[in-house]
Structure 1
């Protein structure tokens, strides 16, 4: 007759019996330790990855939707106001004031300057009220000089000089104030799009945590194969591949986005310097328009990073769930149900 399981256990020596029980206990504890470590590491890695990639994406979105248009709008408004003054000087020089239709050019430039400031009012935290008020006063003085007093040379000259002073007076004129606003807005754009030390620290934490996750997953796979006699766990294998992808793809995307932002910032600096350069305002307007389009296209090229960010979020959640499933199911089947 064949001995049953009970008889087989009775024939085992007590030492062999307890070694088997102790080995099983150690294996279970080792797998439970892997499960706990993996859960903690994936939670840290996923949180750090989400926050780091989201910060990069937020900087790109803020630069494209707020900061860059504000810098461009301030430059365009300042040049439009200067162009209006140039048109008025041309009318005075040619003695065309009072001629029907002669003031349309400067009025269109003033309208462009005012509309430009209105468009960027909700894209900047700076107070544009003072500049808009000065621009309105400047426009009124030009209107008085070119229309109401066009037949009174002394009053006309007084109003036109007053208008020019409102536009160009050091520190308090429209053009100097807009120049200060441009400089401040450019600093805001640089602060928004530049990766700071704490953002870099976030990426270091992400990469180190993902590296630790990958090593722990390999360790868990070998424990299951060597101590439990199991084939490679598919959940842990998929989690390992996903961890490698999360360590590489979002980081490459972040640095590619940062390169685009750095290029856009360089273009904004050149645009700002061009708007400050002495010379004909019409030429500066043309160059600023061309540079603005280059900035827009450069920032539009980085739109592909948003799907990568969403994919990283989904991958981060899977990186937490898959190891828990792989080890949890195995522990439940081999050990927990036997308690």
Structure 2
């Protein structure tokens, strides 16, 4: 005679299908969370690192390069202006009358020396600077005799000054037009550096959508544990949900703040470039470029929170992966009917 099943055995068989479905649902939630977290965190970290790199490139190369070209052009033009003024006013015969011209020319030479280290036009830019340095040497060979050697020979003096001016501003081959070309290329490069491209925008969209999927799936897992397992608040999933929300907000806010500074810097560099190109009042233009460059350097100064945000996001991503995996795996192996199922 077959024994009748006990009340506990009948209850176990009745609960077994429900436990099996619960197990499959939790396994599905775990797989979705892990996959979405991996995709979203990869996109987030890569996108944020790109913004950090852009800020560093702008601070160390792009901004100094654009400022340097503008300052060098204005210094050269101001030097020639001072030389011509000394000749026209007749003070070129006075000892020390060329001090202001020499100071401006020295500043231009120093600017060219710094540009070789920071220019952002690659090999093409290096070729331009080498050519400009050679032409500037010829320019010095013309302007110095015109203001010092031929002070008593007006015809030769005028010829040397005219020759020097052609070397300085001759279209296409003069020092200033060559620097204009270099500046144009640098402005294009600077704009690409400081602007979010389609790939970066796509990366942030993937990161935010992935984090939204993680948050929704985590909420669904919490609801499932409460409905089917009697767990009101899971100590693993709830912190994971909070970290996910923080990851969706804090790095995006940091990126927006950094991008705002890059946009502002790009506009200021554009005004510096325009001022150096128009050259209405050389002395005032020089003052404006110097003042704006100082403000811009302070605005682009590196801030430690940018790096801390990246490493914080890296740690948060690890938590978003580990906490749900630990919590759901614990539940998957905790109750006897899940093991039986």
Please say whether Structure 1 and Structure 2 have the same fold, judged by a TM-score greater than 0.5.
Answer: yes
- Partner residue in 1 for 2:78: 83
Give, in angstroms, the shift of residue 13 of structure 1: 8.9
Give, in angstroms, the shift of residue 150 of structure 1: 4.0
Instruction: State the distance in 1 between where 2:13 and 2:138 align.
Output: 96
Give the TM-score taking structure 2 as reference length: 0.90
Instruction: State the distance in 1 between where 2:91 and 2:304 align.
Output: 50
Instruction: State the distance in 2 between where 1:166 and 1:100 align.
Output: 26
Is the CA contact 2:74–2:279 (under 8 Å) kept in the aligned structure 1? no
Match of residue 30, structure 1, among 6, 25, 30 = 25
- Partner residue in 2 for 1:204: 205
Q: Sort the Cα spacing of 1:332 and 1:18 in 2 relative to 1 into closer, same or farther, 3 A.
A: closer
Q: Sort the Cα spacing of 1:168 and 1:71 in 2 relative to 1 into closer, same or farther, 3 A.
A: same
**Residues 1:139 and 2:118 are matched in the alignment:** no
Instruction: State the distance in 1 between where 2:252 and 2:205 align.
Output: 10
SS in 1 for 2:279: coil
Alignment of 1:131-210 (within 5 A): 131-210=132-211
- Partner residue in 2 for 1:288: 289
Instruction: State the distance in 2 between where 1:295 and 1:286 align.
Output: 14
Instruction: State the distance in 2 between where 1:186 and 1:94 align.
Output: 39
How many corresponding residue pairs?
A: 332
- Any stretches of 5+ residues in structure 2 without a counterpart? none
Is the CA contact 1:46–1:316 (under 8 Å) kept in the aligned structure 2? yes
SS in 2 for 1:35: helix
| Deviates most, 48-57 or 237-246 | 48-57
How big is each residue's C-alpha offset from its partner over 1:292-324, in whole Å with a ceiling of 9 and x where there is no partner?
122223323866433223322221222112111
Is the CA contact 1:260–1:302 (under 8 Å) kept in the aligned structure 2? no
SS in 2 for 1:135: helix
Q: Sort the Cα spacing of 1:78 and 1:67 in 2 relative to 1 into closer, same or farther, 3 A.
A: same
Is the CA contact 2:16–2:340 (under 8 Å) kept in the aligned structure 1? no
Give the TM-score taking structure 1 as reference length: 0.90
- Partner residue in 1 for 2:98: 103
SS in 1 for 2:192: helix
- Partner residue in 2 for 1:265: 266
- Partner residue in 2 for 1:68: 63
SS in 1 for 2:173: coil
Instruction: State the distance in 2 between where 1:88 and 1:303 align.
Output: 47
Give, in angstroms, the shift of residue 79 of structure 1: 0.3
Is the CA contact 1:57–1:305 (under 8 Å) kept in the aligned structure 2? yes
- Partner residue in 1 for 2:332: 331
SS in 2 for 1:171: coil
Match of residue 53, structure 1, among 33, 48, 57 = 48
Q: Sort the Cα spacing of 1:303 and 1:150 in 2 relative to 1 into closer, same or farther, 3 A.
A: farther
How big is each residue's C-alpha offset from its partner over 1:182-225, in whole Å with a ceiling of 9 and x where there is no partner?
22211211110011122111111111111100011011112222
How big is each residue's C-alpha offset from its partner over 1:13-50, in whole Å with a ceiling of 9 and x where there is no partner?
98754332222222222212211111101101111110
- Partner residue in 1 for 2:275: 274
| Deviates most, 286-295 or 139-148 | 139-148
| Deviates most, 133-142 or 283-292 | 133-142
- Any stretches of 5+ residues in structure 1 without a counterpart? 1-6
